[in-house]
Amino acid sequence: MPLVSDGLYIRLAVPDDAETIAAFNRAMALETENKSLNENVSVRGVGAVLADPQLGRYYVVSDRHDVHASLMVTYEWSDWRNGLFWWVQSVYVRPERRRAGLFSRLYQFVKNEAQRDERVCGLRLYVERENTSAQATYRRLGMHTESYDIMEQLF
């Protein structure tokens, strides 16, 4: 496990982290989109990823007792590039730990993991248009905007 700082480490999430990550996801949805997520659904959603690595994986920054930041990676096959994009999703850092570089270190760790996997052709993420602070952070890490908009149809 790579050391981040002050006894904090980056590691893959484990089932015992599900409740904390789900709470992070609910807090993020409320903070960034003013959406309230169902607690049971969010816990089951995180648990599904932790139980099935084909759905994705969570990385966390933790000490011996608590998780302080997390992000999820999911996968998209690109037939144009004959490779996988890793989508960075569900990014959250505890408010009292923000502006301490935890996300930057977590992102760099994930980027390094992706670059070691010859199947991966790039990283992608989506960000709220109004979240200029997050956009600035992502740009500082080397990301750029693309010409695509996200469209969806929910069921």
Q: Rounded CA gap, 32 and 122, in Å?
A: 25
Q: What confidence tens digit (pLDDT) does each residue in 66-75 have?
A: 999 999 999 9
Ordered by start, the domain boundaries in the chain are 3-140
Per DSSP, the residues of 37-56 read PPHHHHHHHHHHHHH-TTT-
Of residues 35, 119, 110, the one with CA closest to residue 81: 119
- What's the whole-model pTM score? 0.89
Read off the pLDDT band of 128 (50, 70, 90). Answer: confident
Q: What confidence tens digit (pLDDT) does each residue in 72-112 have?
A: 999 999 999 999 999 999 999 999 999 888 999 999 999 99
> Looking at domain 3-140, does it have CATH number 3.20.20.70?
no
End-to-end CA, the chain? 39
